[in-house]
Amino acid sequence: MSNLGARTLSCATFIVFSFSANAFDLNGAWTADASNCDKVFVKKSNKVSMTRNSGVFGGGFIVEGNQMRGQAKTCKITGRKEEGGVLHLIASCSTDIAVLGTQEVSAKIDSDNQITRIYPSFPEMGISFYRCKL
């Protein structure tokens, strides 16, 4: 391999690892009202789950790796892309009784502990979610 080829490969490897190291960490328990974290989520034996009445307090979702789950559905994140402060996810979702198929989800990254779900067809709409500290 030529010296130029080795430098190009080394630079490309550095760029790939630099971007993946800075990827937004979505893991955690997220709710629409941070003051209701203890009413939406419960932690037992180091496992976070949703309370039976979580929907009454705004609901939320839990992300663990490539798994995203809410009170009624579970999704496997199959694709992920960040651009311009927006996180785009492709997820295969299902409920206990039906396969919902593939869904696209986009969220503006407001801070490490706040995202706003956005709907590209309706940019004026958005729902903010806050990461709970459990």
Share of the chain above pLDDT 90, in %: 68
Residue 11 lies in a domain: no
Query: pTM above the 0.85 mark?
Result: no
The SS3 of residue 91 is strand
Number of domains comprising the chain: 1
Residue 67 lies in a domain: yes
Residue 38 lies in a domain: yes
Tokens 């080394």 appear where? 10
> Residue 68 belongs to a domain with what CATH number?
2.40.128
The three-point CA angle 90-92-95 to 5° equals 140
pLDDT at 98: 87
- Whole-number average pLDDT of the chain: 84
Residue 17 lies in a domain: no
pLDDT at 22: 59
pLDDT at 2: 45
> Who's near 37: CB < 8 A, 6+ residues apart?
29, 31, 130, 132, 133, 134
Q: What are the tens digits of pLDDT across the range 65-91?
A: 999 999 889 999 999 999 999 999 999
Q: Is the pLDDT of residue 21 over 70?
A: no
- For residue 68, give its domain range: 24-132
Alpha carbons within 13 A on the beta-carbon side of 91: 20
CA dihedral 56, 57, 63, 64 (to 10 degrees): -90
Going by pLDDT thresholds of 50, 70 and 90, the confidence category of residue 19 is very low
pLDDT at 123: 75
Tokens 């996180």 appear where? 87
Residue 14 lies in a domain: no
Phi and psi at residue 62, to the nearest 5°: -125, 135
